[in-house]
């Protein structure tokens, strides 16, 4: 419960209409897209501008009230679950596109803008914002920046981090700072913009962002390569890159994923093959044509059983949409869906996929694997039931082994979904104690009272590494 004094002060800042501590509202914001995490906030507060955010942070800092900034709550790492209570800060009223600057090729937005709305707005002017998380119909730019989200176009165009040029940030003490600018070159001091990207709401509140745009590619083409052998699909990924072709999209779906996605989307995806690569290239027409021909050739050499080129943009969009629906499709199978994003160097994809299948067999679990093969970013996903405690234990052990294998192969515990509360116990496996200590020093410098999204990124206790017997 908030102290009455704090409650009154917050209402004075945002007005009664934008403060809600009813049980219903607190329940609504007690969880996010991550299964198995729930915790009640004390209140939900919706500021209307940066000045209000600054006042709220000052009050919370003074009274040491936790703040959980929240976009659409679609994160998959319990990043917006109010594990230590406090207030949830919503940006539903700070959701405007402030400017599209065609001379500097930038767009400036408030944090609550829905990603796809912004993409549509810039595309209407022939401009392109490449980061396209599958959740973009509902995710916000504030959330994308704080998770450093990626998407299907990440292989060629990079992730959110690569497009953030400038930020307005409110620090926990209420100070408002501006980082970066509309500048191609700027080395004045530490790169605070990059520090805030991916900081998961633990360092400050982003109240404005200027993002880089690029001209819209002239054309794009999409194809599917079908395989009866997982290894052959994985080898094709390495071979395409080794042949110095960087496609826009190079996505992998295994057979269990194909089956559930086809059942869901019903667009005629092949379900009698072991794996599929969804490959896309964009750019000038002649380059797209040349790259597609070369990639088809490479896939055939690597034992693809068939290559299918989308006949129209409608067909291509159906394929992309089906891939983006993979999580939703799997989520229909059972009450609980655990999706992970273990990431390895792309040369290790084949080994990683094989290991995931062995682990699934060892723990008698059904794990569907899909993901951004070109980035080495896989999403092993387990449909399960949180009420079955014995099975949940096996799920946890299986994923711990998957993380361990990813790290052993030179990879990481998360490629794009963030650490949040869910992966915090595993972070030390990746960073070692010294890495965690360095990050904690940064956190302490910005947020000495630990009010910003406490309980995220840093765990009270790290998990012990399991020993892999294979």
Ligand X SMILES: Cc1cc2nc3c(=O)[nH]c(=O)nc-3n(C[C@H](O)[C@H](O)[C@H](O)COP(=O)(O)OP(=O)(O)OC[C@H]3O[C@@H](n4cnc5c(N)ncnc54)[C@H](O)[C@@H]3O)c2cc1C
**Contact flag: residue 371 with ligand X (CB under 6 A):** no
Minimum distance of ligand X from residue 66's CB (angstroms):
11
Site for ligand X in 299-328 (CB under 6 A): 327-328
- Tell which one of 35, 79, 85, 374 touches ligand X (CB under 6 A): 79
- Tell which one of 75, 95, 355, 412 touches ligand X (CB under 6 A): 75
d(C-alpha 67, C-alpha 86), whole Å: 6
Site for ligand X in 150-179 (CB under 6 A): 150-151
Which residue in 110, 349, 115 sits closest to 241, CA to CA?
349
Only segment of 144-152, 225-233, 284-292, 347-355 that touches ligand X (CB under 6 A):
144-152
**Contact flag: residue 423 with ligand X (CB under 6 A):** no
Minimum distance of ligand X from residue 363's CB (angstroms):
24
d(C-alpha 152, C-alpha 148), whole Å: 14
- Tell which one of 61, 83, 108, 149 touches ligand X (CB under 6 A): 149
The answer to whether the beta carbons of residues 129 and 398 sit under 8 Å apart is no
Q: How many CB atoms lie within 10 A of CB 105?
A: 18
Lay out the sheet containing 106-109: strands in order across: 97-101, 106-109, 205-212, 164-170, 176-180
Site for ligand X in 122-141 (CB under 6 A): 133-135, 139-140
- Tell whether the torsion through CA atoms of 78, 399, 149 and 58 is positive or negative: positive
Minimum distance of ligand X from residue 346's CB (angstroms):
17
Interhelix angle for 349-362 vs 230-242, to 10°? 160
Kindly tell me the number of DSSP H helices and DSSP E strands found in the chain. 15, 18
Minimum distance of ligand X from residue 32's CB (angstroms):
6
Helix (H) or strand (E) segment spanning residue 50: helix 50-63
- Tell which one of 147, 254, 391, 428 touches ligand X (CB under 6 A): 147
Minimum distance of ligand X from residue 418's CB (angstroms):
6
- Kindly determine how many residues on this chain lie close enough to bind ligand X according to the rule CB under 6 A: 37
- Tell which one of 35, 73, 217, 425 touches ligand X (CB under 6 A): 73
What Rg do the C-alpha atoms of the chain give, in angstroms?
22
The answer to whether the beta carbons of residues 420 and 77 sit under 8 Å apart is yes
**Contact flag: residue 278 with ligand X (CB under 6 A):** no
Residue ranges that bind ligand X, judged by CB under 6 A: 32-33, 68-76, 79-80, 91, 111, 133-135, 139-140, 142-144, 146-147, 149-151, 200-201, 205-206, 327-328, 416-417, 453
């Amino acid at each position: 419960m908030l102290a009455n004094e704090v409650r009154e002060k917050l209402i004075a800042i945002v007005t009664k209409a934008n403060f809600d501590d009813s049980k219903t509202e607190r329940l609504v914001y007690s969880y996010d897209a991550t299964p198995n995490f729930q915790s009640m906030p004390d209140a939900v507060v919706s500021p209307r501008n940066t000045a209000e955010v600054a006042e709220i942070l000052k009050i919370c800092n003074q009274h040491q009230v936790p703040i959980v900034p929240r976009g659409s709550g679609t994160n998959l790492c319990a990043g917006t679950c109010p594990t230590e209570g406090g207030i949830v800060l919503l940006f539903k009223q700070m959701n405007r596109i402030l400017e599209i600057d065609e001379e500097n090729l930038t767009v400036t937005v408030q944090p609550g803008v829905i990603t796809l709305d912004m993409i549509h707005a810039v595309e209407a002017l022939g401009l392109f914002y490449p980061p396209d998380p599958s959740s973009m119909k509902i995710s916000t730019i504030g959330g994308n920046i704080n998770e450093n989200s990626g998407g299907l176009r990440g292989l060629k165009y990079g992730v959110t981090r690569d497009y953030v040029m400038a930020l307005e940030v409110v620090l926990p003490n209420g100070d408002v700072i501006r980082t970066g600018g509309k500048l191609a070159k700027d080395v004045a001091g530490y790169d605070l913009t990059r520090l805030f990207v991916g900081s998961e709401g633990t360092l400050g509140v982003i109240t404005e962002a200027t993002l880089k745009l690029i001209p819209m590619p002239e054309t794009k083409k999409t194809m599917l390569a079908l395989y009866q052998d997982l290894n052959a699909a994985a080898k094709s990924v390495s071979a395409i890159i080794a042949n110095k072709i960087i496609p826009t999209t190079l996505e992998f779906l295994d057979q269990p994923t194909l089956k559930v996605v086809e059942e869901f989307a019903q667009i005629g995806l092949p379900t009698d093959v072991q794996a599929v690569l969804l490959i896309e290239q964009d750019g000038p027409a002649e380059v797209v044509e040349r790259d597609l021909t070369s990639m088809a050739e490479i896939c055939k050499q690597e034992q693809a059983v068939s290559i299918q080129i989308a006949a129209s943009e409608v067909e291509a969009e159906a394929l992309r949409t089906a891939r983006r629906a993979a999580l939703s499709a799997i989520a229909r199978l059972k009450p609980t869906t655990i999706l992970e994003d273990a990431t390895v160097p792309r040369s290790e994809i084949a080994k990683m996929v094989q290991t995931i299948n062995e682990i699934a067999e060892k723990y008698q679990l059904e794990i569907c694997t899909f993901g951004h093969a070109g980035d080495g970013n896989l999403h092993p996903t387990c449909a399960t039931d949180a009420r079955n405690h014995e099975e949940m234990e096996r799920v946890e052990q299986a994923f711990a082994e998957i993380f361990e294998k990813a790290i052993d192969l030179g990879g990481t515990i998360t490629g794009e979904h963030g650490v949040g509360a869910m992966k915090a116990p595993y972070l030390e496996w990746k960073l070692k104690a010294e890495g965690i200590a360095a990050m904690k020093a940064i956190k302490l410098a910005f947020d000495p009272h630990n009010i910003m999204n406490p309980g995220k990124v840093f765990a009270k206790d790290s998990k012990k590494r399991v020993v892999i017997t294979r």
